[in-house]
Structures are given as structure tokens and as C-alpha cells.
Chain A
Amino acid sequence: MSSAISIETLSMEFGPGMKALDEVSLEIRDNEFFTLLGPSGCGKTTLLRLIAGFEQPSAGVIRLYGEPMQDLPPFRRPVNTVFQSYALFPHMTVAQNIGFGLEMQGKPKAEIAATVERMLALVKLPDVGGRRADQLSGGQQQRIALARALASRPKVLLLDESLSALDMKLRKEMQIELKRLQAETGITFIFVTHDQEEALTMSDRIAVMSKGRILQVGTPSEIYENPANRTVADFIGETNFLEAQAIGEQLQLADGQTLPSHCSAQGAVTLAIRPERVALSESGNLAGEVEEVVYIGTDTLYLLRVAGQSGFRVREQNGCGVRPLLQRGAPVRLEVPAAAIRVLSE
């Protein structure tokens, strides 16, 4: 697979000592749904704006299909953006909005009209071409913004938190819609979000960012199953952290309890354990005490005190005929299989 975008040691400073991006290097493959994921202020939007050309990097190279881009103004880059606020032109009709990019390229009117029709059909809004952008609902505006960005067939589509303004139901719909559009158009999508669930659902690969750096790049399952460090593990999904000493094949917790290890690390380590990978069981290998019980329909969430640490989360699915909910303060045993433990040594 060839690389669509290749970024080499890209840095961005907004002032002395204010680094928005710190020597970021990244390869984004052709025809990939790639997500930049991170908390607000992590530099993901800055990276997107650098690719689009709205900001100038302090240092580094951005290549698009091999060609250096960092010195080109935004209107010379074969890259289009779907803005968080959609940024539809309020004084134009929907059709004029979608045709704007093609018009700027000097395409003949008939061709523009045909493309606009095709784009409206693609985003499943065939009858709104004559309306003004502000007469559409949020979800419709979102689709029109997509159609506008796709109309001039960019090589790469940038999506800046594009779903965050939508309500939950619409957002789920658009997630599926985006995947479909990406498959149908074959265009590389770079999606920026702070919503880890959204990133996991939609992406081929994810780059997790924090404080201007990329912490880990990988497929959703790689990132979820094998987080590179504590920050990634903490940001993606729910994770329990336990401090331990790795001694030989054993992981010794603060209160002397031990867990099996499958990793060669020695000395002080942090154990990352997903709440849904452990189970409450009378024959469990770890003792704890119930602090809180939260019933949430499909699941019940238990907060336990384990090895002197409070807030250890255990998620149990509610089946039929399960035992009654445990009471606060009850002693419990936990089954923690070796495969559920991720040993982070940092």
C-alpha cells in the first residue's frame, strides 16, 4: 500500500515554549480511514490544519503522495476539509455550496450541475439543492458539508470533529454513513475526534495523541488490546491500574497478593486491567471488597477496593437468572486471567 500522506518531524509552535506539535512523524496510507484521537489541546486539530494548509509549520515536511505540501497555500492543495461548524456559505443555495469547489476549478456549468446531482444522491439528500444552507437541519448540513468537500474529488478528505455537533442517534447514523462514503469514493479520510468510541468504531487505524506528540499508531484492536502506555490505556476505554512488583513469574501487589505474569518485565510495574475482562467468582485469584454497585441496564458496574486501592472497576453483563446484586462492603473474589493483564513498565 502506498502512502497518501507522509509527515516527517513536523513541529508547530504558537510562541516560545508553546509547542502545539512536537516533531510528529506519521504515515497515512492510501484509501485509509485514519483517525487522530486525543483530548482537546493535544494537537490533533493543529495537525489537521497543517495538512489543510491553514497554518504554517515551524519545522518539518508534509508530503502528499510524495509531493511536499508545506509551502503551498490551502487553495493549491488537493485536500478538502469538513469543518466542525460545517462552514456552509449562508448566502448560497445548497447546490451552489456543493458546486463551489468545481466552479473555482473553472469546470463548465453542465458538469458542475451533474456533479452536484451526483453528490446530493451520494449523501441521500436529492431534493434540497435549491434550498439555502441555513434552512437545513444539523444532520442535513453535515451531509451537505460532506458533499461539498467530496465534490471536487480531493485526494484526501479531512474531517475536523465533524460529528461532535450532532445528537447521539444522528451521530451513530453518520458514523456508518461516513464509512460507506469512504468505501464508495475510495478517498483517504483523516478524521479528528476526541471520542474514543467513535474512533474505535470507524477507523482502519488510529493515532492516539497527547500534548503535541503521537503516543501510539495502530488498528483499533491493537490500541485497545495493547496500549503502549498508561496514557493510551487510560484514554481508550475503561482501565484499572494497579501498582505491582514483578518478581520472576509473579506480580506482587501492595498487600502481598500475587497475580500470574506472562511478561518478562521486572521491578516496579503498572498493571492495566480492562473492567470487562475480569469476573466476580468465588474461586477467583484476587480478593477485594465491594465499595459501590452501579446498575446500568445491560451491565452492572462494581467498584471494588483491591490491594489497598479503591475504585477498581468490574463490569458484569446482566443475564437472566443471575445472582442478586452484591451489597456494599461485601468481600468478593475476582477471577483475573493472565491474558487480561497488560504490564506497563514506564
Chain B
Amino acid sequence: MSTPRQLAERRQLLRRLGLIAPGMAMLAVFLVAPLAIMLLVSFLQPGEYGGVKWGEYSAEAYISFFYERDFDDNLVFNTDYLGIFQRSFWLAVATTVGCLLIGFPTALYLALQSEKKRNLLLFLVTVPFWTNLLVRVYAWMLLLRNGGLVDGALGVFGVPEGSVGLLYSSGAVMIGLLYSFLPFMVLPIYTSLEKLDWRLVEAAFDLGANRWQALKRVILPLALPGMLAGATLVFIPALGNYIIPELLGGGKALMIGNLVQLQFGSGHNWPLGAALAFSLFSLVLLALLFNGLRQRGQEVRA
């Protein structure tokens, strides 16, 4: 026999489960299940013409990160994939830092404008989203190619046409990433600066801080949450980006995304593609975990 109290508690529990069930179901179907499939695929044998051989397990995909088999079936250390991971990582880091350097002053400028002007400028920041990314990246190709606008402009300063080779380089990929992810940095920083109580800046001036000191000691620390959010929003998609290195890197500056696409496409090696994607996923997860732990550490200290 249950007491009325136990019954009430059970009903409460059921109600709670009922309320979270739709959310949990969605996460299970759209997040957990695809990841599980991807993990499974990464441990299978590749099929002859793409696909996988179900039921034939192997860690070959992960081994081939570091080693390749020579003619005698010996494992030989190979840094090709690691090199691409490294390039992706540094390009993503450089993009994040570049976005911070350009995004913070932009957001600060936005936050200091009158309300009317501010709304117009914010609107302008979001205008690029109105055009398909592909179109915008093609526009960059036109700008950066030999004989393009940038090349021509350099020609004015006496640099011979076509000698710089802007397009199809890590530099071009970097410019493309910087360009496409800048708004994702500007907007969160702007949000945290907009909430900033400017009387605090006045207080800093009042206590003898000059403009630079006020920026360093008051504005920057208070904009830090926005900068961290922006860095996350830029770093993660930049790390796994596919379309920009594909078009602006031209196969010479591959990133992880291109590698994954290659394995699922012409490489006919789905397990390797899945393993690469899963490694990228773990890398991002680690970065987020690190960030989370750092934040919790700060809260505990406070």
C-alpha cells in the first residue's frame, strides 16, 4: 500500500518526466543517434565502393591517422592527416584572434553610438547574412584571384601582376574565415558592451584612470563574457569549416572538413571519414569542457 504522500510524489515524478520527454526524445533522435551511428561506422571496414561492411569491426580508421601501410603491409608513420588537423587548428585560432582584434573595436564603436545610429550599424553588420555564403565566397575568389581587384591594386604599387598568388593559399582561407565569422564575434561582444554601465567607466576616469587604463581594467574585463561567447562561436565552426577552404584553399590548404568530405566522397573510406569527424568532435568537446571548467573555477573563486 502506498501512502497518499508517496502517490503524490510518484505523480509529480511522472509529470516531470512527461514534461522533459519531448526534449529528451528530440536530443536522442537528432543528436545521440547520429553520433552513435558515426562512432559505429568509424569502427567498421570500408566497403568497396563507399558504404561500410556491417559486422566487420576494425580500428584501422584510427590507426591510419598516424600510420599508412607500405607495400609489405608494414605500418609507416605518416603525418599527412596530423598536418591537416594542425593547419585547421591554427587557422581556427588565427581566425578567432583576428575576429577578436577587429571585432572588439567594432563592437565598442557600435556601443558608443546614439541609439538610432546604433540600430542602423547593427543592421549593416547583419546584411552579409542576406546573401548565400557561397556567393560571398565566390566574390572573394574574384577579388583575390590573379588579375583580380586586390592583385590589380597591388600592381599599382609596383608588385608584378600574379606574383603574390593570393588565391588558393592558407592566407586566402584565413581571409575568407575572418570575413564570414566576424559578425559572430561582433554581436556577442556588442551585447555585453551594450549592457555595460558606462558610469563605471566614468568612475574609473574619476579615480585617475586614463582612457587606456579604463579600457584595460574596466571595459575589457566586463566585456569578457561576450568575448568568450564570440570566440566559441567563431572557433568551432571555423575549425570544421568546409566550403571556404574548398573554394579559397583550392585543395592546397585543406582543412579537416575537406578531409572528411573527401573520405565520404571520392575516397570511398567512410570509416576514416567518420573517425576524422569524430576526432574533430572530441577536440571541440575538449575545448568546450576546458572553457566550462575555467568558468566554474572563476565562480568558485568568486
Taking Cβ atoms with an 8 Å cutoff, the residues of A that contact B are 52-54, 73-75, 79-81, 83, 85, 87-91, 100-101, 104-105, 132, 148-149, 152
Contacts and interface: CB of A to CB of B under 8 A. Distances in A.
Interface in B183-219: 197, 199-200, 202-210, 213, 217-218
- Secondary structure of the B contact surface, majority rule: helix
A81 B222 CA distance: 21
B112 to A, nearest CB: 15
A85 B213 contact: no
B159 to A, nearest CB: 44
Contact of B218 (A85, A89, A132): A89
B205 A89 contact: no
A132 B302 contact: yes
A221 B38 CA distance: 85
B165 interface: no
B221 interface: yes
B213 A104 contact: yes
B208 A152 contact: yes
B222 A87 contact: no
Contact of A90 (B208, B209, B213, B222): B222
Given A91-B221, A91-B222, A100-B204, A83 B209 contact: no
A85 B222 contact: no
Given A80-B207, A104-B208, A104-B213, A89 B202 contact: no
A86 B213 CA distance: 20
A294 B205 CA distance: 50
Interface of B: 197, 199-200, 202-210, 213, 217-218, 221-222, 302
B256 to A, nearest CB: 36
Contact of A85 (B199, B206, B207, B217): B199
A85 to B, nearest CB: 6
Contacts of A90: 200, 222
Contacts of A74: 202, 205-206
A104 B209 contact: yes
B206 A52 contact: yes
Nearest to A100: B207
B208 A87 contact: no
B206 A81 contact: yes
What 7 pairs across the A-B complex have the smallest Cβ distances?
A101-B207, A104-B208, A87-B203, A74-B205, A87-B199, A91-B221, A81-B206
Nearest to B221: A91
Contacts of A104: 207-210, 213
A102 to B, nearest CB: 9
A87 B203 CA distance: 6
Contacts of A54: 202, 205-206
A105 B213 CA distance: 11
A164 to B, nearest CB: 15
Contacts of B202: 54, 74, 81, 83, 87
A148 B207 contact: yes
Contacts, number: 60
28 contacts: A53-B205, A74-B202, A74-B205, A75-B205, A75-B206, A75-B208, A75-B209, A80-B206, A81-B206, A83-B199, A83-B202, A85-B199, A87-B197, A87-B199, A87-B200, A87-B202, A89-B200, A90-B222, A100-B209, A100-B217, A101-B208, A104-B207, A104-B208, A104-B209, A104-B210, A132-B302, A149-B206, A152-B208
Given A53-B205, A74-B202, A74-B205, 7 more contacts: A54-B202, A81-B203, A83-B203, A87-B203, A89-B203, A100-B209, A104-B210
Contacts of B203: 81, 83, 87-89
Contacts of B205: 53-54, 73-75
A79 B206 CA distance: 7
Contacts of B218: 89
Nearest to B214: A75
B208 A105 contact: yes
Given A91-B221, A132-B302, A75 B210 contact: yes
Contacts of A53: 205-206
Contacts of A89: 200, 203-204, 218
Contacts of B199: 83, 85, 87
B224 to A, nearest CB: 8
A80 B199 CA distance: 13
A104 B222 CA distance: 18
A54 B213 CA distance: 17
Interface centre among B197, B206, B209 (most CB of A within 10 A): B206
Nearest to B210: A75
Nearest to B218: A89
B115 to A, nearest CB: 17
A73 B203 CA distance: 13
Nearest to B198: A87
A105 B197 CA distance: 24
Contacts of B207: 75, 80, 100-101, 104, 148-149, 152
B211 to A, nearest CB: 8
A52 B202 CA distance: 10
Contacts of B204: 89, 100
Contacts of B217: 100
B27 to A, nearest CB: 35
A90 B222 CA distance: 8
A143 to B, nearest CB: 16
A49 to B, nearest CB: 9
Nearest to B213: A104
A152 B197 CA distance: 23
A193 to B, nearest CB: 18
Contacts of B210: 73, 75, 104
Contacts of B222: 90-91
A109 B208 CA distance: 17
A89 B214 CA distance: 11
